[in-house]
């Protein structure tokens, strides 16, 4: 009898101390971004765009996640500023539909490609300082509306230095894009309890593997590479998912 009782106590101890990784993680995600997030080049963005592949990855790795894709092709941080009343209302509407005090609301954000352009997108070129300022305004507005939210800010992805469609990016834009990364890191240090740096690997991954994972597009300055193809969207989704899950676990651990 003592042996059985001891065994039950050990079993109970194990059950009560199961690591968080064995529990299903439930949270909702609102994705904010541009054409890469929107998946405007896919036949079925709802299943092929990076937000969908991100959530697929998460749901296959012990998570239960719903999401809204608020990516808009051609958008910049300027377009998402609450004061413009342009794209922020769409984000707020999606977040309102998800927001519950007992369930974490995650904002997954990847902006910067269009901000970095020489000309074309709204507000471009956006200086690194203004990029940081715009993001802080957006984040503070989100935190004010959703006090317990988690914001994961992914670094922008690489594009070829001859990128030139209806907007002009080129090497100058790419150089500016890279100067956004220190601003992202600085923002995370300014809002350390709710804003976290997300994925930082996609830039080099696509730079080194662009012919396999990015679409070849005809541009005004030759064939350029900017948007993920189907394989690229799956890869980007996995990278975003890994970063989101890491930050979610850390965020929950400190609540």
- Close Cβ partners of 221 (under 8 Å, ≥ 6 residues apart): 162, 163, 164, 170
Which pTM value belongs to this model?
0.90
Percent of the chain at pLDDT exceeding 90? 87
Q: Phi/psi class of residue 222: alpha, beta or left (left: φ > 0; alpha: ψ in -120 to 50)?
A: left
Say if strands 222-228 and 25-33 run parallel, antiparallel, or are unpaired: unpaired
Query: Average pLDDT in the 74-101 region?
Result: 96
8 located within any domain: no
Query: Average pLDDT in the 180-202 region?
Result: 97
Say if strands 214-219 and 104-110 run parallel, antiparallel, or are unpaired: unpaired
In the predicted model, is pLDDT for residue 2 greater than 60?
no
- Phi then psi for residue 85, to 5 deg, are 55, 30
10 located within any domain: no
141 located within any domain: yes
For residue 130, count other CB atoms closer than 10 A to its CB: 15
5 located within any domain: no
CA atoms of 148 and 99, how far apart (whole Å): 9
In 3D, which of 15, 19, 20 has the Cα closest to residue 249?
20
In the predicted model, is pLDDT for residue 94 greater than 90?
yes
CA atoms of 37 and 23, how far apart (whole Å): 29
DSSP string, 138-162: HHHHHHHHSTT-EEEEPPPPP--TT
CA atoms of 182 and 149, how far apart (whole Å): 23
189 located within any domain: yes
CA atoms of 156 and 204, how far apart (whole Å): 10
Query: Average pLDDT in the 56-77 region?
Result: 97
Query: Average pLDDT in the 203-228 region?
Result: 98
81 located within any domain: yes
Query: Average pLDDT in the 216-238 region?
Result: 98
Give the least confident one: 6-15, 25-34, 139-148, 193-202. Answer: 6-15
CA atoms of 80 and 86, how far apart (whole Å): 7
Q: Provide the domain limits for residue 53.
A: 25-253
Helix%, strand%, coil% for the chain, nearest 5: 50, 20, 35
Query: Average pLDDT in the 190-196 region?
Result: 95
- Close Cβ partners of 24 (under 8 Å, ≥ 6 residues apart): 62, 63, 64
Q: Which of 14-28, 90-104, 236-250 has the highest mean pLDDT?
A: 236-250
Percent of the chain at pLDDT exceeding 70? 91
Across the chain, what does the average pLDDT equal?
A: 92
Q: Domain holding 101: CATH number?
A: 3.40.50.1110
Alpha-carbon distances of 147 from 76, 195, 210, rounded to whole Å: 24, 12, 39
Give the least confident one: 16-25, 109-118, 236-245. Answer: 16-25
Band of pLDDT at residue 11, cut at 50, 70 and 90: very low
> How many domains does the chain contain in total?
1
Looking only at Cα atoms, what is the longest distance across the chain? 82
pLDDT at 101: 74
194 located within any domain: yes
In the predicted model, is pLDDT for residue 6 greater than 60?
no
68 located within any domain: yes
pLDDT at 22: 61
Spatial contact of 124 and 113, defined as CB atoms under 8 Å apart: no
């Amino acid at each position: 009898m003592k042996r059985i009782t001891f065994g039950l106590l050990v079993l109970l101890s194990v059950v009560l101390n199961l690591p968080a990784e064995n529990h299903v993680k439930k949270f909702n995600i609102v994705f904010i971004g541009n054409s890469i997030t929107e998946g405007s080049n896919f036949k079925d963005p709802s299943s092929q765009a990076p937000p969908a592949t991100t959530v697929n990855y998460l749901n296959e790795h012990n998570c239960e996640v719903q999401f809204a894709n608020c990516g808009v092709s051609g958008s910049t941080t300027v377009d998402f500023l609450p004061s413009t009343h342009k794209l922020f209302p769409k984000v707020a509407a999606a977040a309102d539909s998800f927001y519950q005090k007992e369930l974490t609301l995650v904002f997954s954000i990847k902006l910067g490609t269009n901000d970095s352009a020489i000309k074309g997108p709204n507000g471009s070129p956006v200086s690194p300082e203004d990029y940081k300022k715009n993001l802080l305004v957006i984040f503070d507005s989100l935190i004010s509306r959703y006090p317990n939210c988690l914001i994961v800010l992914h670094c922008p992805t690489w594009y070829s230095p001859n990128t030139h469609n209806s907007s002009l990016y080129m090497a100058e834009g790419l150089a500016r894009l890279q100067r956004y990364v220190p601003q992202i890191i600085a923002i995370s240090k300014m809002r350390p309890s709710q804003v976290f740096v997300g994925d930082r690997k996609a830039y080099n991954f696509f730079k080194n593997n662009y012919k396999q994972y990015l679409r070849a597009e005809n541009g005004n300055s030759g064939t350029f590479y900017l948007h993920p193809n189907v394989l690229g969207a799956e890869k980007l989704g996995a990278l975003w998912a890994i970063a989101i899950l890491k930050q979610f676990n850390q965020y929950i651990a400190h609540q």
